Structure 1
């Protein structure tokens, strides 16, 4: 009997895994198909793929209420999204960040910190939940949709959670697209030198891909600087999310009704581990490329799932105040980085 126990345990585990897969795969497959469609359309029209993913997801909102697809959609909007955020760490090395210098690092850290404060203050002035202020400030300060999704994972859950996250993701994507088009023109109009222009573009545009487009549109030196500055902002994601999680766990000033999540987050550990491994040269180029593509895929599928869980009418009911909050945060970080760039120009 004893010799059969390990086999029985293994069989039970396999059965449980197969049952879980059977329960989740329809929703995951739906979100993956939507992500593929969004990628195709974005490539065809050269538009923001995250925005297409959100819109495609909302078109299938009814599937989030279907018993067959709901579990997979919920898993994609939660666990898979967090995995994507964790895998972003493969993009970053400590050496890259050190190359910016302490003065630039301090400017970027100051921009991130003050934008978070602007989000909290703006939410208070506009009579919006503090959780929305954290999401808006974090998305504007760090890396748009990815930051909002990471922060949402540590904020207490409540009835408005998904609507708030989707609102911030949509607005961050739209504002980042506008910035991608306008900020290079502004840098040219002000005759900013390459390093100063890279500091401005990389320090103020939300999405990584759009920083690439805007930075290299101004030339190779500007693009290289913009990417390093953007990586510094992304690297601060772990610290910011950990700080918010600690504030929530201690009953700090981030208040929202609902269950408090655990302060220790596996995806932050994954993020930090990948940064460490790449910094030590233990990740070959092929592995970095694979992990980066995996991160994009997880985030894209997760955003489709997030869209599927929220209807457009519900999003429209959020009103004008979240728009004002997001625009204010975006203008603050842009003004901060532009002032720094002009000081160096």
Structure 2
């Protein structure tokens, strides 16, 4: 068996990931809040739609491994970024708000996309995952569960990146208007429970107030911790939607990487490892996720994205409006009840 396409592919992916990581740490990228994940998929798509087809057979096995196994490993190691102690820092208010926003946003997106926009189910579920939990990382985590094609994953990521970036500019303006209704702590929970990416949440908080920033990031982390139960729910929904009758015994596919993700987060909560080692795991995790994004970009055809049309972006803007308006109403209501 020729193993060269596997190792050449991993080396090729590593080169793209290193370049993306370097570009993601430049002043320009920090100023405009462009993450290495996004740069990796853009680089991958640029190469994938130009020179990659000329030598794809020589690296394909490694690229597919990065897109699959490395992605799952990256999601598992993501648990080292979280601890259950984070929940205590913001209280029950944030937990309840995050849970309501996650569930309502996903089902709002699914209903709108499938029933009214008549979109592809896999694409809708991926978009719903990204908008409901943690942007591109959630889309990537949902990909093995939905078994979606690369171009659908890329479209979903494009949607959550565009409207998550828009949030960076609109939420600070909204804070000025809403100060007489909710305080900085409550607004931080609102940001954390309704904005797509962790980096975007941090950027918004830093542009407003330190209290908003700290609360928003912790609220967002709690939302990220709901990724594993969400993936289990998504697996169940997909099993039900495949036309299996109630009288027929059926098997729900358990995304074990999601279960391991929670296991790692629980383990990390006990603070048993040296901080330097945890930091190393986080850095390895970042590189694995960047690598899998590069592989995703390489296997995405621009023609397939174009074929998806405007509907995904219509879905994205309507979901964004729900997150802004509906999210504020949910947060305001819960702040009065709890």
Q: Partners in 2 of 1:134 and 1:254 — Cα distance?
A: 14
Q: 1:229 aligns with which of 219, 234, 242?
A: 219
Q: Partners in 2 of 1:36 and 1:175 — Cα distance?
A: 27
1:113 CA displacement: 0.3
Q: Partners in 2 of 1:332 and 1:209 — Cα distance?
A: 20
| Contact 2:101 2:194 (8 Å CA) reproduced | no
Alignment CA distance shift 1:261-1:187 (3 Å): farther
1:120 and 2:103 are equivalent in the alignment? no
Residue deviations 1:173-204 (CA, integer Å, cap 9, x gap): 12212212321232134325221221122112
Q: 1:188 aligns with which of 176, 190, 206?
A: 176
| Contact 2:6 2:61 (8 Å CA) reproduced | yes
| Contact 1:136 1:329 (8 Å CA) reproduced | no
Stretch of structure 1 that moved more, 47-56 or 199-208? 47-56
1:55 and 2:26 are equivalent in the alignment? no
In the alignment, what sits opposite 1:204?
194
Gaps (5+ residues) in structure 2?
Answer: 244-249
In the alignment, what sits opposite 2:151?
163
Alignment CA distance shift 1:84-1:334 (3 Å): farther
1:29 and 2:11 are equivalent in the alignment? yes
| Contact 2:231 2:255 (8 Å CA) reproduced | no
1:328 CA displacement: 1.9
In the alignment, what sits opposite 1:129?
120
Gaps (5+ residues) in structure 1?
Answer: 1-15
Residue deviations 1:119-153 (CA, integer Å, cap 9, x gap): 21112211112222211111101001111111111
In the alignment, what sits opposite 1:107?
97
Stretch of structure 1 that moved more, 146-155 or 213-222? 213-222
In the alignment, what sits opposite 1:91?
81
Q: How does 1:1-345 map to 2 (within 5 A)?
A: 20=3, 22-42=4-24, 43-46=26-29, 47=32, 48-49=34-35, 50-61=37-48, 62-63=51-52, 66-124=56-114, 125-157=116-148, 161-191=149-179, 192-248=182-238, 251-253=239-241, 263-343=253-333, 344=335
| Contact 1:184 1:201 (8 Å CA) reproduced | no
| Contact 1:31 1:304 (8 Å CA) reproduced | yes
1:341 CA displacement: 4.2
Alignment CA distance shift 1:39-1:166 (3 Å): same
Q: CA RMSD in A?
A: 2.3
Runs of 4+ in 1 over 6 A off after TM superposition: none
In the alignment, what sits opposite 1:9?
none
Q: Partners in 1 of 2:132 and 2:64 — Cα distance?
A: 27
Of the two, which has the highest radius of gyration? 1
- Give the number of equivalent residue pairs: 318
Q: Partners in 1 of 2:274 and 2:285 — Cα distance?
A: 16
TM-score in terms of structure 2 length: 0.87
1:281 partner SS: coil
